[in-house]
Amino acid sequence: MKTIIEPFRIKSVEPIRFTTKEERIHIIQKAYYNPFLIHADDVLIDLLTDSGTSAMSSAQWAGIMMGDESYAGSKSFYHFEEAIQKITGMPYVIPTHQGRASEKILFTILGGKGKFFLSNTFFDTTRANIEFAGSTGIDLLNEEGKHPSFIAPFKGNIDLQALEKCIGEKGAENIMMCMITVTNNSGGGQPVSMDNIRKASEICRRNGILFYLDACRFAENCFFIKKREKGYEHKSTLEIAQEMFSYADGCTMSAKKDAFANIGGFLAMRDQKTIQECRNLLIITEGFPTYGGLAGRDLEAIAIGLEEVLHEDYLTYRIRSIEYMGNKLIEAGVPIIRPTGGHAVYLDAKDFLPHIPPYQYPGQSLCAALYIQGGIRGVEIGSVMFGKYEDNGHLISPPMELVRLAVPRRVYTQSHIDYVTEIIIDVYKKREQLKGMKITYEAPYLRHFTARFEMMA
Ligand code: F0G
């Protein structure tokens, strides 16, 4: 097989800044060992997130100039609406400034005290918006998805038996919605199969429960279906997406992921009454229904991005480039979540640094080491992000201690990724020298963004 190449050439470049190891030791100390507090200018390869960090195409930049900035009835809105209707088959669409704004509107309208929302795994902003509306979110991830090194094609699947059981226990009348996240970001960017989506939607329909998709990375999920699920190998990714959305009553979307936009999102659905209520809320929070918190130029860029993201040469390159990085690490014995997902490689920090216990934050220590060794920025997804305290102050750790290296779309080349793997392998070779971390400051909520750390002696 020939090398799978980047299906684009570069027209505009953005220099990245090199620093020395001595400079980086000083920079990370000044940032209290928290990568969120480092100035982006001091980062060489930024794998903090794949959200809002994509490179737009020449067609999208041309679209930016074509954006219609009319307050009401902008031509760009109709282009945006049409692009979403074509993929989702959903008649009603409202633009929002990003994914969590769609969540806020949807759960304000459909949530409330005593209601339950079920998922394979809710993303943190989604769960936070459900809880903020007074409801409870429950994750029902399939058992396979809970084991980092277990190889299975669809580790993002919802556990269908657990779904039926939960409906039986809580009562269908108390469950508002089941929302499946494609791909499952918090669980390693793992895909969900069409069979699982179809069956989950049937269970919901039978019980009168709404079925939604968190569609942020829908195109990556569709490509995995094409490659891994029987019966889909000859379908186009657009046809697969159309089928996937056909099972859903609605969806939320962050256009900062699979629409290659730097900002934006939407909410789409089939129910006229609910969309009307959402629109009313949109007007007081985001803006008039034909722009919803976005400029006309953003709507245009999203409409074009949604069309581009389903191109199979792009998706082949995208999924291959993550797998390429993962394979190099696996060959060197570095523990990662397997198989690699759609948008990121997740290092298993527990296995990488077995001498650092969860209460000394192995993921945070690994993030600091990657920055010092090579100027790479990743994010801890473990006890710092999800840790809670017992009444006696003991830390309750989540099951996994991970470091996510999310790859921005169309931004880095193969040599950047080769460099990243070389740095990770360097750190792996001297992993015994890495030390644990202690928190010296933390905010009461979402502490990972602002926490300060000290390296253990
Ligand atoms: N749902 C999923 C699955 C996400 O990954 C995100 C964002 C959102 C919803 C919220 O979208 O950021 O536009 O408000 N994920 C980013 C990340 C932040 O780094 O994974 P948003």
142 Cβ below 6 A of ligand 1 = no
Whole-angstrom CA distances from 419 to 45, 136, 142, 376, 413 are: 9, 43, 34, 10, 10
For the residues of 192-249, what is the DSSP string, one character each? Answer: --HHHHHHHHHHHHHTT-EEEEE-TTHHHHHHHHHHHSTT-TTS-HHHHHHHHHHT-S
Q: Could you tell me if 111 and 44 lie in one domain?
A: no
Host domain of residue 416: 21-50+311-455
Residues 186 and 123: their CA atoms lie apart, in Å, by 6
Q: Could you tell me if 281 and 403 lie in one domain?
A: no
Q: What are the pLDDT tens digits along the chain (457 aa)? A: 789 999 999 999 999 999 999 999 999 999 999 999 999 999 999 999 999 999 999 999 999 999 999 999 999 999 999 999 999 999 999 999 999 999 999 999 999 999 999 999 999 889 999 999 999 999 999 999 989 889 999 999 999 999 999 999 999 999 999 999 999 998 889 999 999 999 999 999 999 999 999 999 999 999 999 999 999 999 999 999 999 999 999 999 999 999 999 999 999 999 999 999 999 999 999 999 999 999 999 999 999 999 999 999 999 999 999 999 999 999 999 999 999 999 999 999 999 999 999 999 999 999 999 999 999 999 999 999 988 889 898 999 988 899 999 999 999 999 999 999 999 999 999 999 999 999 999 988 788 999 999 999 8
pLDDT at 55: 98
Q: Could you tell me if 433 and 294 lie in one domain?
A: no
DSSP state of 7: S
Residue 210 lies in a domain: yes
Q: Could you tell me if 174 and 274 lie in one domain?
A: yes
Q: Could you tell me if 76 and 205 lie in one domain?
A: yes
Q: Hey, how many other C-beta atoms are within 10 angstroms of the C-beta on 327?
A: 15
123 Cβ below 6 A of ligand 1 = yes
Residues 197 and 201: their CA atoms lie apart, in Å, by 6
Taking the CA atoms of 204, 90, 237 and 257 in sequence, report the sign of the dihedral they define: negative
385 Cβ below 6 A of ligand 1 = no
User: Burial letters for 134-151: b for 16+ Cβ neighbours within 10 Å, e otherwise?
Assistant: ebbbbbbbbebbeebeee
Q: Could you tell me if 39 and 90 lie in one domain?
A: no
| The ligand 1 atom nearest the CA atom of 406 | 19
Whole-angstrom CA distances from 306 to 22, 186, 189, 244, 266 are: 43, 23, 19, 15, 12
- Please give the single-letter amino acid code of residue 269: M
Write the CATH number for 169: 3.40.640.10
Q: Could you tell me if 98 and 240 lie in one domain?
A: yes
pLDDT at 187: 83
pLDDT at 398: 87
Show which of 308, 337, 359 is a domain's final residue. Answer: 308
Give the closest residue to 251 by CA, choosing from 137, 123, 135, 99.
Answer: 99
Q: Could you tell me if 65 and 146 lie in one domain?
A: yes
pLDDT at 421: 98
Q: Strand runs (DSSP E) across 242-355, as ranges? A: 250-254, 265-269, 344-348
Residue 3 lies in a domain: no
Q: Could you tell me if 144 and 247 lie in one domain?
A: yes
pLDDT at 399: 84
418 Cα–ligand 1 center, Å: 27
Show which of 277, 308, 339 is a domain's final residue. Answer: 308
Count of structural domains, the chain: 2
Q: Could you tell me if 90 and 115 lie in one domain?
A: yes
Percent of residues in the chain assigned helix, strand, coil, to nearest 5? 45, 15, 40
β-bridge pairing 136-139 and 116-119: parallel
pLDDT at 419: 98
Nearest CA owner, ligand 1 atom 21:
99
Nearest CA owner, ligand 1 atom 8:
99
Nearest CA owner, ligand 1 atom 18:
51
Interacting residues of 40 by C-beta distance below 8 A, sequence separation 6+: 46
Chain position carrying tokens 């195109």: 219
User: Considering the entire predicted model, what is its pTM?
Assistant: 0.96
51 Cβ below 6 A of ligand 1 = yes
**Over the Cα atoms of the chain, what is R_g?**
22
Show which of 262, 277, 308 is a domain's final residue. Answer: 308
Q: Could you tell me if 195 and 247 lie in one domain?
A: yes
Residues 350 and 327: their CA atoms lie apart, in Å, by 19
Q: Could you tell me if 205 and 330 lie in one domain?
A: no
| Structure-token pair, residue 87 | 């993929």
Q: Hey, how many other C-beta atoms are within 10 angstroms of the C-beta on 177?
A: 23
Q: Hey, how many other C-beta atoms are within 10 angstroms of the C-beta on 439?
A: 21
Residues 406 and 129: their CA atoms lie apart, in Å, by 23
